[in-house]
A and B are shown apart, each in its own frame.
With several copies, the nearest count.
Chain A
Amino acid sequence: MVSGGVKITIKLFSALREALGESEFQLDLSDTSEASAPVDVASIKKQLSQRGAEWKEALNQPNLVHALNHKVVFTDAVVTEGDELAFFPPMTGG
């Protein structure tokens, strides 16, 4: 894949954004995912956790919420090209 492979958008909010110093970036799934296996949220968390101790800690806190294309999902949700995956702490609006 010459043009950079399978890209998704990662977004981080609230304490997670603050702890990791990033709010939005592109992630290329083809770099680390195995050739034919479908990529799910769990495998993306694993991939991002390799960026360092603070990433590992932030992405493995028990209350972490994951939203795929603006909908809260479990870690087995399958992620495909062009998706937007967000990580954040429990919501406190209202």
Chain B
Amino acid sequence: MSVALQSEAIDVAAEYAQLVGDSPGAAVATFTGYVRDHSDQHAVTKLELEHYPEMARKVLEDLGHSAAERFGLRSWRIVHRFGQLAVLDTIVWVGAVADHRGEAISACELMMDTLKTDAPFWKREQGPAGEQWVASRDSDTERRARWQSGEAQ
């Protein structure tokens, strides 16, 4: 039931062990996001993640609590990095523990979809073609909207 904002790489194995050790359940789903080596148009070699620390923490905590309530989670964890990242570095890790698989998997999906559009982080890509801020994606806004319309479950 916690959020971490950190500049260090995410230790996926340690996060998993702690999440499950804290409150074992029958079903554990996780998602890890890594830095892509390309964006929509450009090759990417580095990524800078700017964030709004106080708001990021609040948004991620709210969204963890709301996923926990919606899906009856036993536990959850959201870890998000900021600062300088290299290609294939971890960016984000979410984990959910529930009694049944559908709840754990849907909670991870909800946390990721909401995080993408609601958490105050901004990606700045660096590559051979120079630097630019990453534009937000319509597909992310659409995935986010599914949870409000009840289309996703």
Contact = CB atoms under 8 A, between A and B. Distances in A.
Chains A and B touch each other in the complex, with CB atoms below 8 Å apart: yes
Interface string B87-101: 000011000000001
Contacts, number: 76
B122 A94 contact: no
A94 B50 contact: no
B136 A88 contact: no
Query: Which of B101, B112, B118, B137: most chain A CB closer than 10 A?
Result: B118
Secondary structure call for the B interface: mixed
B102 interface: no
Given A14-B50, A14-B133, A93 B55 contact: no
Nearest to B133: A15
A93 B137 CA distance: 11
A67 B136 CA distance: 17
B136 A70 contact: no
Given A13-B122, A14-B133, A89-B122, A94 B52 contact: no
B52 A86 contact: yes
B52 A89 contact: no
Interface string B128-140: 0000011111000
Given A11-B52, A13-B120, A72-B118, A91 B58 contact: no
23 contacts: A13-B120, A14-B50, A14-B133, A15-B122, A63-B136, A67-B52, A67-B120, A70-B52, A88-B120, A88-B122, A90-B135, A90-B136, A91-B117, A92-B122, A92-B133, A92-B135, A93-B56, A93-B92, A93-B115, A93-B120, A93-B121, A93-B122, A94-B101
Interface of B: 33, 49-52, 54-56, 58-59, 80, 91-92, 101, 112, 115-124, 133-137
